[in-house]
Amino acid sequence: MLRPCLPLLIFFAGVSSLGTLQAQTAAVSIPAWIEEGNCGPAPKFAATFNGKLAPVISQLGQGSDQVLLLVLDVTGDASLVDAAKQALVAQISKLPANAWVALLRDQDGLHVLADPGPDRQPLLDAIKGVASTGKPGLLETVTPALSLADDLIRKSAVRVSVLYITDSNIYNYREDYTNPVINESDPHDISRVFPDALIQDKISKLVEDIGSLEAPLFVLHLNYRADTLNQSYENGLLTLADATGGRGLLCRSVGEIPDKITEAFNRISSAWRLTLQVPPKSHNNAQIHLSAPCDGEDAKLSWRTRVRPKEG
């Protein structure tokens, strides 16, 4: 459930500095990064979509307007959550004025806690005030969160990312993903052979659901757990982020949290948004290839390699 996020769309649509609407016919936007190479402020990206030329009709890089949807999914250890809050406040305070941050929480649906604005103090106060209680909601809200980001991308010439900060434990979800053994006496019981089948099935469905949503997803998990089901869950979160071109990060100690949050913000801030013209009659989930010649050699790039064009 997504509530009450309509004001966010109205807000961004009304801010002239965020750019103009872009035509959405036969085009997709992907996130990309220049990992190595001196490409200057305006590299000449070239792309193919399933082997066919896909002209880059728009490119937005560092310094362009940016929107971050920050979603807190925190329910556990207060010491981990407090460390994350402090690191978030520090990183948000360093962002340029044209980086807009909205704060959301995902217990019992997706709620907006702080609207973006030029005065960041209400946002910082809201982060500090979030309580570490309730049930995790990441798996239930990640599609609505990415859908909101996708609406912003399709309406404005901005870079948009979604960042989840979570300490979620797969055993604490309202829905049971533990796949309990049905027949204790049967060694061939499928639930005994594949105890994480429900988790893998959920992740697979989510990857399919978000296939046409264009914003990159970043997930930072504050509390790595080593048991089998939580490892499967955490690997699933990494898979989700990777499917969007984003990144998943796992913290194995409280001391890692500030560095991991810095890494996430640096990655988000350095993203390019490339809008590609999709060749006619393209396969729905075609492979994207990207290149950029820099100083006579192709730069080392990373990008979202697959996206399903949205019809209409």
Identify the residue with better confidence: 79 or 298.
79
* Pairwise CA distance, residues 42 & 142, whole Å: 33
Band the pLDDT of 23: cuts 50, 70, 90.
very low
Angle between helices 228-243 and 197-209 (to 10 degrees): 10
DSSP string, 275-307: EEEPPTT--TTPBEEEE-EETTEEPEEEE--B-
Phi, psi of 112 (to 5 degrees): -85, 120
SS3 273: strand
C-alpha R_g of the chain: 20
Q: What percent of the chain has pLDDT over 90?
A: 72
- CA 298: distance to chain centroid? 27
Note the helical H segments in the chain. 6-14, 78-94, 121-129, 138-155, 190-193, 197-209, 228-243, 257-269
User: What is the model's pTM?
Assistant: 0.90
Q: What are phi and psi of 97, to 5 degrees?
A: -65, -25
State pLDDT tens for residues 142-167: 999 999 999 999 999 999 999 999 99
Which tens digit of pLDDT belongs to each residue from 265-305? 999 999 999 999 988 766 666 799 999 988 778 889 999 99
Q: Is the pLDDT of residue 3 over 50?
A: no
pLDDT band of 171, cuts 50, 70, 90: very high
By C-alpha distance, which of 117, 137, 135 is closest to 125?
A: 117
Task: Inform me whether the pLDDT recorded for 188 exceeds 90.
Answer: no
State the DSSP code for 28.
E
Task: State whether residue 219 is helix, strand or coil.
Answer: strand
Phi, psi of 194 (to 5 degrees): -125, 75
Task: Tell me the C-alpha distance between 203 and 106, whole Å.
Answer: 18
CA distance linking residue 152 with residue 273, whole number of Å? 13
Average pLDDT in the 186-199 region? 64
Residue 189 CA to residue 242 CA, distance in Å, equals 32
Q: Which residues of 57-92 are buried (b: 16+ CB within 10 A; e: fewer)?
A: eebbbeebbbbbbbbbbbbbeeebbebbbebbeebb
pLDDT of residue 276: 95
